[in-house]
Amino acid sequence: MHKNVYHKPTFDNISEEKRKKILDVAVNEFANHGFENANINTIAKKADVSVGSLYKYFDTKADLFLTSVNYGVSSLERILAQVVSMDDDVMIKLEKLVRAAIKYSRENTVMIKLYNEFTTENNAELGEKLAERMESVTADAYRKAIIKGQIDGEIRTDIDPGMAALMVDNLLMNLQFSYACTYYGRRLGIYAGKDIFNKDDFVVENVLRFVKSALKPNIYPERNVNT
């Protein structure tokens, strides 16, 4: 089986409409109940297929889960990769990324819940496959954008591009969860006020200020505190 493809060839042979229905149902089931508690019988019933048919398309429940993850977050991955590839300076890209993360999370709550589910998955084998699949593309894109920013003088050069990329991605991931998942949403409200969800520009502005303070070169010489 091709790397990152977890379904059987028979799944590709059915209609696009049928594939979409199966995956939409599976995404909802896994997102709302987690991997362990998701029920194959429920997925089959809601997707109007037999359990036997599902196992003709997927060897295991884990393969259905992995295929659902690929399907569920691929659109978000494309959006983020598209923004990063734009010919803008790194801080303009960052603003677009923050706005895209908030907008996508509001419009695709179930997808982000699924994203949250696999990041907290206790199954080590699944977690390893998912981390490699989902993080490698954005990690490389963010790292390259930061390196370019360093070359252009927009980002300080005394910070490792990989670590900087990780910190930026952590912020974006947390924002996505905050606008889609109950716990993270309540957490954001506790820290920033219950009306924070009506203040998108405020959120974007403060995230950018925080990141700029960390990444922007220090234009002022350091002073000796003893003088």
DSSP letters, 83-147, are: HHHSSS-HHHHHHHHHHHHHHHHHH-HHHHHHHHHHHT---HHHHHHHHHHHHHHHHHHHHHHHH
Q: What is the pLDDT of residue 226?
A: 53
Task: Give residue 1's pLDDT band: very low, low, confident or very high (50, 70, 90).
Answer: very low
* CA atoms of 134 and 23, how far apart (whole Å): 18
- pLDDT tens digits, residue range 32-52? 888 889 999 999 999 999 999
**Element (H or E) spanning 186, and its range?**
helix 182-192
- pLDDT tens digits, residue range 176-205? 999 999 999 999 999 999 999 999 999 999
Q: What is the pLDDT of residue 118?
A: 72
Q: For residue 62, with 0-12 CB atoms within 10 Å meaning exposed, 13-18 middle and 19 or more buried, which class applies?
A: middle
